[in-house]
Structure 1
Amino acid sequence: MSAMTLSRPPRLDSLRSYSTVLGMIVVVVAVAVARPLFVDPRNLAAVAVDATVLVVLAVGLSVLMSMKGLDLSIAATADLAGYLAARALLEGHGTPAAVLIAIGVGVAVGVVNGVLAGYLGVPAIVATLGLNLVLTAVALVVSDNGTPQQLFTAPIDLVKPVLVFGSDSWGPFRLLLLAGAVVVVVAWFATTRTTWGRRIELVDAGARAAELAGTPVRATFASGFVLCGLLAGVGGLMLTARTGLAVPGSAQPFLLDAFTAVYLGATASPRGRISVLWTVLGAVFVTLLANGLVLLGLGAPWRYGLNGALILLALALGVLRRRGTR
């Protein structure tokens, strides 16, 4: 059989590459038809703000997963970072201290995960799941079994900068949205325009080949966990600022949403690979879908069920695409 017979029409390949994006568009249009309020500019603006925390968490996870790693502790890290930052504010330590605490918690968790998985060779799923349980226990202890930290009822001079960050705008843009955009731009630049980004690609291609090319594989892999933890800490602080409240467990729904965003973004990508910008698209779609379900009067079971189905569908499409390229 000739190569001409085996080849597929380029138009068919292009349609297959963008089938996930087309599917997203169909879902959005269907919800808009059922509930016109869904595409109201004010609702879309609210969705954009709601997506910021998920975008920050998913971007960190995408960098790690592009090296075939994963982190099951990002939600627990965000919870603990946001809670300790809120408590520092209420105790009068000031906004800079609260920000440093949130970032410090994230980096510390990332370093521990990086050492365990990157240098000691502990499977990432085991290391991060174990640390997830430890962080959950710590959050319950420091919060006295879930006592919330309420910023919106505190003296305004203690919490004003954080509440302003969570609710105010700079011109037409919410500050949270601008912060999320900064994270995306920096992560995109770091992964596509730097030596570190090139090392990530080499590790993704194969650890052995990367070592032969002189890439510090363990350090590069560990740095993915550090970035993931750092952005989890930032995400926890953003969630606390947005809601004006810190409660252990409030970030847990973002774990499944972040994985869904990464897998959907990879499936939607023409190259079928995980990347920062396509992960952002996945995160925005997940947030749109959650908002649409609320407008349709469907609760949490539908959201979890659809997210799980989307992950399975993304994995299945990824397998089919790889088979089709062989």
Structure 2
Amino acid sequence: MTHSATPAGREAPPAPAVSGGKTSALRPPVLRPDVRTLSLLGVLAALVAVGGLTRPAEFLATSNLQLVLTQASVIGVVTVGMTFVITGGGIDLSVGAIVALASVWATTVATQEYGFTGILFTAVAVGVGCGLVNGVLVAYGGMVPFIATLAMFASERGLALQLTDGKTQIVTVDSVLDLGIKDAYVLGVPPLVLVFAAVTVVGWLVFNRTTFGRRTVAVGGNAEAARLAGIDVRRQRLWLYLLSGLCCGIAAFMLIVLAGSGQNTNGNLYELDAIAAAIIGGTLLSGGRGTIAGSVLGVLVFTTITNIFALNNLESAVQQIAKGAIIVAAVLIQRRTLRDD
């Protein structure tokens, strides 16, 4: 018997077992995320080269690069939250609807009377509140995450439509609108990009350097084993959906700044974009493995593709086909990686 030679504390990391079973001693799983990250960096570099060759003056302009980063910021913040949820073995199909509901609730006339603080607080509070409902339904109600968040998606979209009566709510608070103008840029960097960077850094630290991150991987890899190890699985899942809701609330405020309004159509298809970015970044859809850096690179890849297609006047249908092909390729690569582990 050789199992006694391995200290109990070293047997713990659930990530290797979670990632797909057997782990090769010659190819430690910690190397794989690095390979994926480098691959995504290569893809991003190739896209930048394509943009620079096809539309050099427009694509490489400072204003266009600022635009790409700004557009990536809102969905990027949502994707950070989604990465935690998927790694923990769940899914959240309601993120786009949460962004819509939070943005319209935060831009009502009554809310705007409280100025910048009122709008920010309302957007975040609504996001966290929706995340709480999702978490309770999944963790304590025993509902399948797909069904629970799909139901919330429909309910939140309906409520957002009812609040606005189908109309656009214009923001009149100058301190909010001022964040979107060039005078607010810090060393040429838009404030929304700085928020995205801050959320990414915090998310990476929480995911990779805290007990919360390790518990997330453990719960997503094997919930029963995590429970036997002393982890409160239901509470962990609740926190994951709260975190996702928080990210949606922040993204809703960012979208308000970007658009200068609140609409019930905000956040359309955000759930698909966030899931796709996380998947191509290396997060397993089955849970147990994820990477914040990879997810952020996935967002940048998709945003850059969109920008290149727009500059070259290509049809949006072709763009969607390209995105779909990338997602399929990423999933197939994941399956092959799991078989090789």
When the two structures are superposed, what TM-score results if normalisation uses the length of structure 2?
Answer: 0.83
Q: 1:231 to 1:14 in 2, by over 3 A?
A: closer
Specify the alignment match of 1:193 in structure 2.
209
Say how many residue pairs are matched: 305
Choose the corresponding residue for 1:27, options 12, 24, 47: 47
1:108 to 89, 111, 129: 129
Whole-angstrom distance in 2 between the partners of 1:14 and 1:275: 7
User: Residue 88 of structure 1 contacts residue 98 of structure 1 at CA under 8 Å; is this kept in 2?
Assistant: no
Q: Which among 301, 312, 316 is matched to residue 328 of structure 2?
A: 312
CA deviation after TM superposition for structure 1 residue 322, in Å: 1.4
Separation in 2, partners of 1:55, 1:15: 20
Q: Give the residue type in structure 1 aligned to 2:89.
A: K
Matched, 1:73 2:94: yes
Counterpart code for 2:175: P
Which of 242, 267, 275 is the equivalent residue of 1:226?
A: 242
The equivalent of 1:40 in structure 2 is 61
Comparing 98-107 and 83-92, the one that deviates more:
83-92
Q: 1:283 aligns with which of 296, 299, 316?
A: 299
Give the Cα separation in 1 of the matches to 2:215 and 2:289: 16
Shift of 1:19: 4.4
Taking a change above 3 Å as real, the CA distance of residues 205 and 263 of structure 1, as seen in their structure-2 partners, is same
SS in 2 for 1:201: helix
Matched, 1:256 2:277: no
Q: Partner letter of residue 125 of structure 1?
A: F
Partner residue, 2:10: none
Match of 1:97 in 2: 118
C-alpha distance in 1 between matches for 2:277 and 2:34: 21
Matches within 5 A, 1:1-326: 17=36, 18-36=38-56, 37-88=58-109, 91-144=112-165, 146-151=166-171, 154=172, 159-167=173-181, 168-266=184-282, 273-325=289-341
Q: Residue 108 of structure 2 aligns to a residue in which SS?
A: helix
Aligned CA distance change for structure 1 residues 196 and 86 (closer, same or farther; 3 Å)? same
Q: CA deviation at 1:108?
A: 0.8
For 2:93, the aligned partner's letter is L
In the TM superposition, what is the alpha-carbon distance from 1:231 to its structure 2 partner? 0.7
Contact kept in structure 1, 2:47 and 2:304, CA below 8 Å: no
Contact 1:78 1:235 in 2 (8 A): yes
Decide whether the 8 Å contact of 1:260 with 1:286 is kept in 2: no
Q: CA deviation at 1:90?
A: 6.8
Q: 1:309 to 1:267 in 2, by over 3 A?
A: farther
Deviations 1:211-239 (A, max 9, x none): 11111111111211111111111101100
Q: Provide structure 1 residue ranges, at least 5 long, that are not aligned to the other structure.
A: 1-6
Distance 1:323 1:280, change over 3 A: same
Paired residues of 1:60 and 1:231 also in contact (CA < 8 A):
yes
Distance 1:113 1:201 in 2: 20
Q: Answer whether contact 2:94 2:153 (CA < 8 A) is retained.
A: yes
CA contact (8 A) 2:86 2:283 kept: no
- Match of residue 13 from structure 2: none
Measure, in 2, the Cα distance between the counterparts of 1:106 and 1:312: 30
User: What SS class does the counterpart of residue 106 from structure 2 fall into?
Assistant: helix
Q: Structure 1 residues 41 and 323 mapped into 2: Cα distance closer, same or farther (>3 Å)?
A: same
Percent of counterpart pairs with the same letter?
31
What is the aligned partner in structure 2 of residue 4 from structure 1? none
Mapped partners of 1:41, 1:94: distance in 2: 32
Counterpart-to-counterpart distance in 2, 1:58 and 1:91: 28
Q: Which runs of 4+ in 1 moved over 4 A?
A: 13-21, 88-91
Cα displacement string for residues 6-31 of structure 1 (whole angstroms, at most 9, x for unaligned residues): x89xxxx9997554543443333223
The one-letter code sitting in structure 1 at the alignment partner of 2:204 is W
Distance in 2 between residues matched to 1:91 and 1:28, nearest whole Å: 40
Alpha-carbon deviation of 1:199?
Answer: 1.0
Contact kept? 1:256, 1:307, Cα under 8 Å: no
Counterparts of 1:19 and 1:177, CA distance in 2 = 23
CA distance in 2, matches of 1:24, 1:180: 18
CA distance in 1, matches of 2:314, 2:142: 43
- Cα 1:34–1:124 shift into 2, 3 Å: same
**d(CA) in 2 for partners of 1:98 and 1:23?**
38
Q: Secondary structure at the match of 1:173?
A: coil
Q: CA RMSD in A?
A: 2.3
TM-score by length of 1: 0.87
Counterpart amino acid of residue 161 in structure 1:
S
CA shift for structure 1 position 88: 4.4
Q: Distance between the aligned counterparts of 1:143 and 1:68, measured in 2?
A: 34
Cα distance in 2 between the residues matched to 1:24 and 1:311: 15
